[in-house]
Chains A and B, each alone.
Chain A
Amino acid sequence: MSQLFRPGANTWARVVLALLVLGPFMAMLIGGIIQRSDTATGENRIVEQPVPFSHQHHAGELGIDCRYCHTGVEKAASAVVPPTHTCMSCHSQLFTDAEMLAPVRESMATGQPLAWKRVNNLPDYVYFDHHVHVNGGVPCAACHGDVRRMPLTRQAAPLTMGWCLDCHRSPEDSIVAAEREFASAPYVHRTAADRAAARATMMRIAHSGKDLMDCSTCHR
């Protein structure tokens, strides 16, 4: 009777046994890596828009304030994607026949809204409130990155629940002074004013007794 197994069979058997043990862990590891990857979270994804709006040009080179267009950011949950009327307040005078702006002119003429594609997309069961964050001293750049250097807007943060909670757990390092909230790089060279603002906000949260880690903070 000849040999049933070849000499290498022992090695294979060991590899299989090891994989049986390690395999699930590796699968979890790979799954975790994929889940946190840009592909899954959408970080750094650039979404094609009906009009290739450049924050770099408008906010960076021209220096238009964030709040000129995003009017809700200090007052309401929604930061507000500006109505067509806001675009046309300049573009009725400038680049009035640019091909690129045809959809904007059409929207103004017909009253049909522009269909902007959502860049920063949170699930429907998450209720993010811009004005609470902005009024508390969280700068725009904390979530949106340095939009003044984005020719096309991309998602600058993973926007996963873990990422949100990192800050909710200890917000003090993410809070800056009011004058730096709309800055391009608010976290570079942290000043005494930033630390004072952070202390004030932290005091206020502690005084109210509110726990930012409560599920009801974001989920309703």
Chain B
Amino acid sequence: MPPVSALDRRAILRLIATGAATLLASCGRPKEDIHPLANQPEGTLPGTVRRYATALPLAGYGRGVTGLVVDERPIKLEGLAAHPASLGSTDPFIEAAILDLYDPQRLRAPFGPTGPSNWSALAALFREQLAPTRGRGVAVLTGRVTSPTMLAQLAAARTALPEMRHVSWEPFDDDAPLAAARAAFGRPLLARPRLQDADVVLLLDADPLGPGPEQIAHARNWSDRRRKAPMHRLYSIEASPSLSGSMADRRQPAGPRDLAAACHVLAAALGGGSGPLPTLPPELERLVRDAARDLKAAHGRALVIAGERQPEAVHAFAAWANGVLAAPQDWIAPVSGDVSPHCGGLAALADDMHAGRIGALVVLDANPVYAAAPALGFKQAMARVPLTIAASRFGDETGAASQWRVPLSHFLEDWHDWRAPDGTASIAQPLVHPFFDTRTPAAILDLMIDPAARPGSFDAVRAQWTGLDDAAWRTAVASGVVPDSAAPLERVGTAGLVLPPIPPQTLTIDLRPSSQLYDGRFSTNAWAQECPDPITKEAWGSSARMHAGDMSRLGLKEGSLIRIDRGGSAILPVRAVSGQALGTVTLVTGYGREGTGQIADGLGANAWALGGNGTPRIAAQEGGSSVATTQPVFALEGELEKLFPVLAPAEAMPSVTPKPSLLPNPPARGNAPPQYAMAIDTDLCIGCNACVIACQAENNVPVIGPDEMAVGRDMHWLRVDRYVSEGTAGFQPVPCMHCEKAPCEPVCPVEASVHDSQGLNLQVYNRCVGTRTCEANCPYKVRRFNFLDYAERSVWGDAPHESVTAQRNPDVTVRARGVMEKCTYCVQRIEAANHAAAPGETPAPVVTACAAACPTQAIRFGTLDSPDIAGARKDPRHYRLLEELGTEPRTSYLARRRNPGDTPA
């Protein structure tokens, strides 16, 4: 185009004409192709959802899932009712895993020291360099291995390379409980608390409802007990608010010193120990005395749980206490076969690497450079190993420090098997062909054993399960579990009393798994990053959590940058968290990644760098920075009882008289179709965020990225609000209320917000012109506006991101820019049920994505006359949010209860 100054009249006219012609020509509908499969599998139809049982691992443990597959694409993962670690529900990690499959950041082909390479080059390398060594100086580093196939491969590898060393290492390990059991019972065992049978539970910095492989099962068992009368009681002593602590009936913050001292006081109250008792802060002392009273009274139904990051002595104490209390708790031998300490194994390996005794290191799906204790100097150690190979799904720190970086398949792309935390085995079938030239860890081990062999992963897994005949194998694969494969329960003797030594009162660092990113393995997942932390509501980053008193003592303000040194160092902003113990700084893991791609790089600081020993040093840094949050923290003056009522065990909600309302009445219901409604029990919601990501996966909710999140343009259709009231906290999921008298409807100038005959408040995207008046008029603030073309924008940087569109639900419209959207009660599922109903029959019950995901079944969905909803609406704890406005919401709540059992001070 010529410069503007050079344009004459004719040129301008020509440009205008061209522009007008282009505009007119662009008005047609896009032409579309139809691509029927060349050979459609028999019995399937395009566009229909098929469900397959499979499994996904977390920290090596398998959890059963149901994969929803449309046109050969897995688009959503749901729970698997038959599997003991899923029980039909999910957690955020299962929900987010489907995005990993389509993630444009995935590694696609092996990468050697000289650039792009291939598997046969790696096989040749194994043949030349590994085979002659007989395994001397060869080390394989994996995470926790529960897979029978993988264990068999490792055994085969030891036969082929007899001196090969295998090290299992998980960042969040079981070393302390195993060591405590070994000391107490003479063999390494793991405790499996039965929360469903416990009337009184004392948590010693334990978070059974928090993130981890057993979250779903624990949450379900806990909720089963909480539903029953008489109400149980949950005590929690912990350093920083966790999900379990938020749900506790009584909770006191305590650092390591107070926790150990509390064990002494508790031991004395339970009839053990002697000698002078350490002093405790008065509130903690009262809690411990009340807890001891209740634990003793509930003999046989009382449980003490020690947190997995607590030292060995606290676990030993808990084992003693549970023995005294005859606690509802089972013991099993670890299902991972290898019971050597993870921490020690990795340290010994690092030592040998530093000393030059390791000639070849193969890292399979582990990331020690990122998460190992800084004292090990793992990155420097890797530089001393002549041959390093790292296998992972995404680029990571260990891959960057290795000569070879080879890609692993996604779990849904190949055959696997895993054992659940209770030992139940599941055979995981692939739901899709591998997209790229990737392999499973077991196939890479195969390559090491015999570089020429190339058995398929199906054959490898099938060979492992020869005990199952073909019929039994098919049943096991189709149902997702191998029957009767749970680990046998172990009988244990009485554990002796071990009192934890009382550490001095110093500043301590408390590292926790992130509820979204776990130990960092979900850092690259955009859904996980965008999901707000349950406690701080931070997204796309994380602050250090401190007590406000500590902050003012150090002269820190909210958002001040600090530098923490312990082993390594981390620079990150601080945030005051109510309920934090004095003298502890809590950091969540998973941030501070490098070389992983556009999503995770440069967000937050690596908490694992503070995995050293000793007293941390904290120094204020210049400047400040804030992490985007989705819920501001402020005091609600007198409004808290209305928004988040907390009741005593048998108390009922006071009745509310709605104010006169100008909103139009809902249309009269004559012969109406099923009327849908939702009931959410805030007494059972543990704030795990499974529903948030389930909704995102089901309803094509876009990812907007940290910048948009920082200006408050959160697009999640469902948010989980956290409230802290005196002595307790709780979570309140807030989807669209589907008000019968909806304030959004009369204000829409184009009738894009309307009701249908099923009582759904609809948002008609093709009518919406984006005035946002509905959002302004919505008292619940559940409407979300597409300020930008979020569906087409990429948060994955320059990488082509078309692959993520393959995850989208074909039954839900992808919203364009300038359109308002909100929770639809999964109208696509309702309509699917309507269409599937035989003529003249009522449609089958509908479950929304959030209700299906909920591990505690706190979210219930159904018609107004269904037992779940009708029962909830008759419950004395039933209330509607902002009931006095007279909007008559279809989504309603059951109030949080608290059963503190205080003794008067």
Q: Is the CB of B45 within 8 A of A78?
A: yes
A125 touches B765 (CB 8 A): yes
Q: Collect the chain A residues with CB atoms within 8 Å of residue B39's CB.
A: 83-85, 108, 111
* B residues whose Cβ falls under 8 Å from a Cβ of A: 29, 31-40, 45-48, 670-673, 754, 756-758, 760, 762, 764-766, 811-814, 824, 827-828, 830-831, 834-835, 839-840, 842
Kindly specify which of A16-24, A167-175, A184-192, A210-218 makes contact with the partner chain: A210-218
The answer on a CB contact under 8 Å between B36 and A84 is yes
* Contact status B764-A219, CB under 8 Å: yes
Alpha-carbon gap, A61 to B812, bound state (A): 40
A129, chain B: closest CB distance, angstroms: 5
Do A116 and B34 form a contact, CB below 8 Å, given A216-B762, A216-B827?
Answer: yes
Q: Are A215 and B754 in contact (CB under 8 A)?
A: yes
Residue from A113, A123, A220 within 8 A of B831 (CB atoms): A220
* Inter-chain contacts of A99 with B (CB < 8 A): none
Q: In the complex, are the beta carbons of B45 and A72 less than 8 A apart? A: yes
Indicate whether A121 reaches chain B with its CB closer than 8 angstroms: yes
Q: Out of B33, B40, B811, B840, which one reaches A127, CB within 8 Å?
A: B811
Q: Give the secondary structure class of A's interface.
A: loop
Q: Is the CB of B673 within 8 A of A209?
A: yes
A81–B36 Cα gap in the complex (Å)?
6
Contact A118 B765 (CB under 8 A): no
Contacts A72-B45, A123-B766 known; A113 to B36 CB distance under 8 Å?
yes
A145 to B289: give the CA distance in the assembly, Å.
82
Q: Which residues of chain B are near A214, meaning CB under 8 Å?
A: 756-758, 762
Size category of the binding interface on chain A: 35 or more
Minimum distance in angstroms from A33 CB to a CB of chain B? 16
- Find out whether the CB atom of A121 lies under 8 angstroms from the CB atom of B834: no
Choose the segment among A4-12, A90-98, A146-154, A200-208 that binds chain B (4+ C-beta atoms closer than 8 Å).
A200-208
Residue of A nearest to B29 (CB): A121
Set A107, A115, A204: member contacting B839, Cβ < 8 A: A204
Contacts of B45 in A (CB 8 A): 71-72, 75-76, 78, 80
Q: Please classify the interface of chain B as helix (H, G, I), strand (E, B), loop, or mixed, using the class held by over half of its residues.
A: loop
A113 contacts which of B32, B38, B842 (Cβ < 8 Å)? B38
- Chain A residues proximal to chain B, CB less than 8 Å: 42, 71-72, 75-78, 80-85, 107-108, 110-118, 121, 123-125, 127, 129, 131-132, 135, 204, 206-211, 214-217, 219-220
State whether A210 and B834 are in contact (beta carbons under 8 Å apart), knowing that A81-B36, A135-B839 are contacts in the complex: yes
- Interfacial chain B residues near A82, Cβ < 8 Å: 36
* Contact (Cβ within 8 A) A219 B38: no
Bound-complex Cα distance A219 to B840 (A): 23
Establish whether residues A207 and B840, one from each chain, have CB atoms under 8 Å apart when the complex forms: yes
Are A85 and B40 CB-contacts (below 8 A) given A72-B45, A220-B813? yes
- Enumerate chain B residues within 8 angstroms of A114, measured Cβ to Cβ: 35-36, 38
A90 to chain B, nearest CB (A): 15
Does the CB pair A219–B835 fall under 8 Å? Answer: no
Least distance between B37 CB and chain A CB atoms (Å) = 5
Contact among A124, A135, A208 for B813, CB-based, below 8 A: A124
Residue among A72, A75, A135, A209 with the highest chain B CB neighbour number at 10 A: A209
Jot down 14 A-B pairs with beta carbons below 8 A, ordered by A: A83-B38, A84-B36, A107-B38, A112-B38, A121-B29, A121-B31, A124-B814, A207-B671, A209-B672, A209-B757, A214-B757, A216-B756, A220-B827, A220-B828
- Write out the residue numbers on chain B whose beta carbons fall within 8 Å of the beta carbon of A42: 29
The winner among A42, A206, A211 for most chain B CB atoms within 10 A is A211
- The complex places the Cα of A53 from the Cα of B756 at a distance, in Å, of 41
Chain B residue nearest to A77 (CB atoms) is B47
A204/B673 contact (C-beta < 8 A), A111-B38, A117-B33 known: no
